[in-house]
Amino acid sequence: MADHQPSATTATTPAGKTAVRGTKKLKFLVIGAGSRGHRYSEAVTESTSAVIHAVAEPRPYNRQEFGESFIWGAGGRPTEGQEFSDWKDWLKWEQERRQKIAQGVANVPDGVDGVFVCVLDEMHVEVMCAIAPLNLHVLCEKPLATSMKDCLAIYRAFVPHGQEHVAPSKVFSIGHVMRYSPHNMRLRRLLLTDRVIGDIVSIEHTEPVGYWHFSHSYVRGNWRRETAEGVGSLLTKCSHDVDFLIWLLSSPPPGAPRDTPAHAPRTISSFGSLTQFRGKRKPKEAGSATNCVTCPIERKCNYSAVRIYRDRQLAKGDTEWPVDIVCPDIEDTFKTSGMAAAEKQLMEKLSEDYDKKSTPDEKIASRPWFGRCVWESDNNVCDDQFVTITWDDDENEATKDFPSRIAKTASLHMISPTERQCERRGWVYGTEGEIEYDSRTIKIFSFATQEFTTIEIPKAANPREEIGHGGGDWGLARMYVGAIDAVENEGWDVRDAQNHFIGCTLEEAVRSHALVFAAEEARREEKVIKWQQWWDEKMKSHIAV
């Protein structure tokens, strides 16, 4: 909904049509001023011409810090429509703002062109379904939702029954950032466009979570418990790893016609469990201690919260992630009151504990406990898991002759006790060679020449760009803004912009998530799932395939 009239020139769209080129300054709302909201906002502010215009965040310090960093500046004040303590307050304000415009009220404040949804995973379904009628461009952080039912509810909010084949009017994106890192984009071109190893036969992909990172997020943090549907760390940590494999092996190759169907998998299986962070693994020397601050072996424990957050980070003057997750306002304390005050604040937070017998489970589950002993926590998600996906030769008459649509296999290994932290690595085996990759290097071996070729992906000029998934966070934000700019200012059809910049529709995002839910069902029930049958039974009545 345009509130201000842009000046314009002419432009040529991908379909060869002449369109009006606008110069509207794109404005965005961020719902949730946590680490993901910050990361996307940095990318928008520093690498595009768009602006972060408004924020909805319940925590006063986080909201103020975010606003000063990205919206109204240090010492500045928000104008009407720029600051909200609840996303529902913004929703009500936006609805009333539109009513005023319809009534012809003068001087109505500007709204936003798009939204970044960066709230807690379990809140996604409520937020997304509520804002769908506003018809804004939307980027939702992954996962789209924490259950298949909720993913479908979001799909139906944006694509009602009977409108599956109606052209969308707005851009949608999901936080599957692995698609947008320079490394992975180069790898995909080598495999699917240049075909440097011929047809892909198999991929082995590993996500090394990192020993202390896993304890931070999946033992003590927000993602330590399975959902009611039995979905755990595979969804919250590796949904974009599953999507990465589907992007390489199922999605149409670069340059394929917009409506080219995916190469659907045949089977999905998964095996995994919680092996390490269990009470029976607790060192005997720790005795009855349930908190690192009072543990007799804290100084020699690899998972000591004191060592992780204080000794290795705060003591060096570092107040960023993950210590700012433990104490969101610790940077302000450090700057205004010094190291001693910041350390006192951190240690008080790490000292917080509970008694399993007397503390209600709902209270325990309601928040993180970052000082809690990793062997005495309430976590139950897998710390070691394998997923295997297989494909048959493509029998679709329209696409069976497409390159790489042959029988193949992919495996994903998510493992927690590793030195490397989220630095994915893997091997791709092809009919004419193989590729070994990590987060920086791609090494190709040719069967024909018997030679290796090594490609080093250069680092970004801005070091902050490298922090998020090898540049994937910034890459996604840029593509999202680029797609919206193409639609709003260059006259592109939304489907063309979605295909060219985002490379993934809402339906594809739902299907990618469905593979995760299918893998978890396979793991829990110790079975092999036949994908098409599973999809037809569970989804076809809800989504037009």
Q: Could you tell me whether strands 452-456 and 114-117 are parallel, antiparallel, or unpaired per DSSP bridges?
A: unpaired
- Taking phi over 0 as left and psi of -120 to 50 as alpha, with beta for the rest, 11 belongs to beta
Residue 489 lies in a domain: no
Query: Do 153 and 52 sit in the same domain of this protein?
Result: yes
**pLDDT grade, residue 166 (50/70/90)?**
confident
CA dihedral 123, 128, 134, 136 (to 10 degrees): 110
pLDDT for the residue 123 = 96
C-alpha count within 13 angstroms, C-beta hemisphere, residue 239:
27
Domain of 35, in residue numbers? 8-174
Distance between CA atoms of 306 and 174, rounded to whole angstroms? Answer: 35
pLDDT for the residue 1 = 36
Q: From 317, 332, 365, give the residue that closes a domain.
A: 365
Distance between CA atoms of 286 and 457, rounded to whole angstroms? Answer: 45
Mean pLDDT of 145-154: 94
What's the total number of domains in the chain?
A: 3
pLDDT for the residue 537 = 85
pLDDT for the residue 64 = 94
Query: Do 402 and 521 sit in the same domain of this protein?
Result: yes
Predicted confidence (pLDDT) at residue 206 exceeds the cutoff of 70: yes
Q: In 3D, which of 193, 278, 222, 172 has the Cα closest to residue 504?
A: 172
Query: Do 110 and 252 sit in the same domain of this protein?
Result: no
Q: State the DSSP H helix or E strand holding residue 172, giving kind and residue range, or none if neither.
A: strand 172-174
Predicted confidence (pLDDT) at residue 408 exceeds the cutoff of 70: yes
Query: Do 408 and 524 sit in the same domain of this protein?
Result: yes
Residue 475 lies in a domain: no
pLDDT for the residue 455 = 97
**Region of poorest pLDDT, from 28-32, 329-333, 402-406, 418-422:** 402-406
Distance between CA atoms of 108 and 381, rounded to whole angstroms? Answer: 49
Query: Do 313 and 391 sit in the same domain of this protein?
Result: no
Tens of pLDDT along 512-523?
999 999 999 999
Tens of pLDDT along 69-85?
999 999 899 999 999 99
Residue 234 lies in a domain: yes
Query: Do 342 and 386 sit in the same domain of this protein?
Result: no
Query: Do 517 and 399 sit in the same domain of this protein?
Result: yes
Mean pLDDT of 439-458: 95
Query: Do 321 and 407 sit in the same domain of this protein?
Result: no
pLDDT for the residue 4 = 36
Residue 243 lies in a domain: yes
101 C-beta neighbours (distance < 10 Å), count: 13
Q: From 140, 174, 208, give the residue that closes a domain.
A: 174
Query: Do 169 and 221 sit in the same domain of this protein?
Result: no
Question: Which residues, other chains included, contact 48 with Cβ-Cβ below 8 Å and sequence gap of 6+?
Answer: 26, 477, 478, 481, 482
Residue 495 lies in a domain: no
Q: State the DSSP H helix or E strand holding residue 116, giving kind and residue range, or none if neither.
A: strand 114-117
Residue 440 lies in a domain: no
Query: Do 290 and 246 sit in the same domain of this protein?
Result: no
Task: For tokens 């395939």, name the residue.
Answer: 545
**pLDDT grade, residue 161 (50/70/90)?**
confident
Mean pLDDT of 325-348: 95
Q: What does pTM read for this prediction?
A: 0.91
Q: From 365, 395, 413, give the residue that closes a domain.
A: 365
Predicted confidence (pLDDT) at residue 18 exceeds the cutoff of 50: no
Query: Do 267 and 298 sit in the same domain of this protein?
Result: no
Residue 423 lies in a domain: yes
Mean pLDDT of 436-451: 96
- Residue 136 Cα to chain centre, angstroms: 20
Predicted confidence (pLDDT) at residue 468 exceeds the cutoff of 70: no
**pLDDT grade, residue 19 (50/70/90)?**
very low
pLDDT for the residue 474 = 92
Tens of pLDDT along 264-282?
999 999 999 999 999 999 9
Residue 482 lies in a domain: no
Query: Do 270 and 286 sit in the same domain of this protein?
Result: no
Predicted confidence (pLDDT) at residue 465 exceeds the cutoff of 70: no
Predicted confidence (pLDDT) at residue 370 exceeds the cutoff of 90: yes
Distance between CA atoms of 328 and 7, rounded to whole angstroms? Answer: 42
- Single-letter amino acid code for the residue at 82: Q
pLDDT for the residue 458 = 86
Q: Provide the CATH number for the domain around residue 123.
A: 3.40.50.720
